[in-house]
Every structure is written in structure tokens, then in C-alpha cells.
Amino acid sequence: MAHKITFIPGDGIGTDVSTAAQRCIDATGVKIEWEEAIAGLSAQEKCGELLPQATLDSIKKNKVALKGPMGTPIGGGFRSVNVAIRHALDLYACVRPAKSYIGVKSYFKDIDLLIFRENSEDLYAGIEFEEGKPETKALIAQIEAGSKKKIRPDSGISIKPISITASARIVKFAFEQAINLKRKKLTVVHKANIMKFTDGLFLRTAREVAKNYEGKIIFEEAIVDNMAMQLVQKPHNYDCLVLPNLYGDILSDLCAGLVGGLGVAPGANIGDDLAVFEAVHGSAPKYAGLNKVNPTAMILSGVLMLRYIKEESAAQKLENAVKDVIAEGKFVTYDLKPTPTDPSAVGTREMADAIIKRLK
């Protein structure tokens, strides 16, 4: 019986890399019925909405989606469609592996980290008050009255909610996944020494959840700024990390840097019965349609998807094919060559072709 999966091509290079991933997944032999849907700038152009209800309905029906990168304006315009999808579907667990592959340029070897990022609240809840607005001034006055601390009147305000409910479920998810994957250690990352009532709550909740897993896996704690340094100095001391939303976003990019960059960084957003798989990198519109960019992160996101739908054999076969092509270094994109100007670099489609050839 075929798996029914929603396919969202994305914006910019999204179509290039997501189509490459789709072709590679199909080449594993797993039977999939793809249902194409749209979101982001392409959806806005076609139907006047960034995130059509039909797209959300498709994901809810099929339970699984493969999504290409989408653009997000910086400092203005609409909020992230990626975040909107996670919130709308309550995809509370963001899973981002950072794994070394021979042939990818990096200062480190043999990295194998797994980041579990809380996806539903923290500063990404999108509760903001614009500088100068009447409601912002009223909020500042209320905060000053309640806290006895002054806030500059020309401030913008962001609210950082962290709840016991969301903290407990991401930590439990991280423990369960880490144990199922036979990992050795889970580190909770926080800034509870400063933010006592938000990060402090996250840490206290993690400690409570950890009591249920004593003797099953090593559990430890780390302050986020120190964790950033430790990951650069001694990355092999760590295994799995569980973090609030913002820290998870930042440190997962840092971990991607340890293994060669976002071009090899896959991601998954998982809820109780829904999941969306996507590359960590953005939509890079200047490269759209040029058949130039590295499809590895998107293909490896497909590997995560195959594992999620219990197609482990196909997932391992596809990951091995990716590893072999990168290690050989012949049919790879410019960023995986010794120099970016290497004339032997191939395009997105051609690298996908080489991976598919390895699957046969």
C-alpha cells in the first residue's frame, strides 16, 4: 500500500532541491502517492494567501509532508510561513541532526549530534508590540508598575512564554527518541541563571521529566553561552541536546557549521501524529532555477521522513547513496568541491542523478 504524502515545493531554490529529493525518494522503490500543495510566495502569487487552508488540510489528511525552503523577510513584512505551519499543526518538536560525512569540508571529523528544539513558544510565539504604538506604551507602563523596572519609551517589546506543558513534552520526546536511537547522553540547555521564571521553568521541568529516565541515559545540564563554546571546543563530548525554541535555532545552526554548513543540515518538525520534513537552510532566491545548489540537506530530510514512515531499509539505502556520492566527490555541486570555482562541479539535478544511480 502506498504512503500518501503532501509535497510542498517551496520558494526560490525550494523547487530545485525538493524535486531532487522527491526523485531520490522515489528511486528507493518505496511506493508514495505525492499530493502537491503550495505555501509561501508561490501561494501568495497564485491564490493571495501565504498559507492556504487547503495546504494545511492536505498535511492533516496525509499526516506527513515534505516541504521545500520558503522565504522570510528580515525586519519587516510577513512572519515566517515555516513557523506558521509549525504553530498551525502543533509540530512541537524540531529535530535537527548534525552529522559528519566524508568529503564535506569541515574543521571537525566524526560529529554525530542530535538537536531537539521546542517549536511552539518562546520568542518565536510571535507576541510582539511595535515601538510607539498606544498598546505598546500601555504595556510598558504596566510592566514598569508591576516590576518596578524602567523600560525606555522608544522600545519594541517581545514576549517570551515558556510553559510547563510545552517544556515537558519536548523533553519527554527528546528522552524517548534518544533512548530509541540508542544514544548515550541528553543535555538540557538553558539560561536559567538569568531568566529564572522562563528558562528556570524549562530547566526545572526537564529535571522532573528526567526522573522517569534515570538509569536509561545520562542526563546533564548546560548554560547556553557556555554550550556554544563547548560545542566548538569539544563537540565530541556531546550527543543529544534539548533546548527552548530560540536557543535550539541558534545552536542547531552552530552544529551545522561543525559538519560543513547548512547544505548538509536536514530537519524534521514533529507533533503527536503529524510531521513535516524540510531542510534547515533558506530559499536563496538569487539561485532559483539555476540548477546550481546542493540538494543534500533536502535529500537527507527525505531520509528522516523515510525513517518516520517506518521505511528504514530505504532510508539507510538513500543515506548510504548520498554518503558515497559525496565521498567520491565527482558528481557534486560547487560547494562540495575543493574550490567553489571548480569547473567539474555539477548541478542540482546531476547530483541527484548520481545518487539515484547508486540506488540501482
To the nearest 10°, report the CA torsion of 279, 287, 360, 64.
30
- Taking alpha carbons only, the member of 234, 246, 215, 266 closest to residue 68 is 266
225 catalytically annotated? yes
Rounded Cα–Cα distance for residues 7 and 220 (Å): 38
Which one from 124, 213, 238, 247 is the annotated catalytic residue? 124
- Taking alpha carbons only, the member of 96, 86, 169, 95 closest to residue 120 is 86
The SS3 call for residue 96 is strand
238 catalytically annotated? no
Q: From residue 358, how far is each of 28, 123, 263, 320 by CA, in Å?
A: 10, 43, 20, 9
Which one from 11, 239, 249, 335 is the annotated catalytic residue? 249
Which one from 225, 272, 310, 357 is the annotated catalytic residue? 225
What stretch of H or E contains 158? strand 157-158
| Percent of residues in the chain assigned helix, strand, coil, to nearest 5 | 45, 15, 35
Residue with cell 539555476: 290
Antiparallel, parallel or unpaired: β 128-129 and 157-158: antiparallel
Which one from 67, 99, 172, 191 is the annotated catalytic residue? 191
Residue type, 219: F
- Taking alpha carbons only, the member of 293, 274, 270, 269 closest to residue 18 is 293
Q: From residue 273, how far is each of 9, 60, 66, 91 by CA, in Å?
A: 22, 9, 15, 9
249 catalytically annotated? yes
148 catalytically annotated? no
Q: Which residues are catalytic?
A: 124, 191, 225, 249
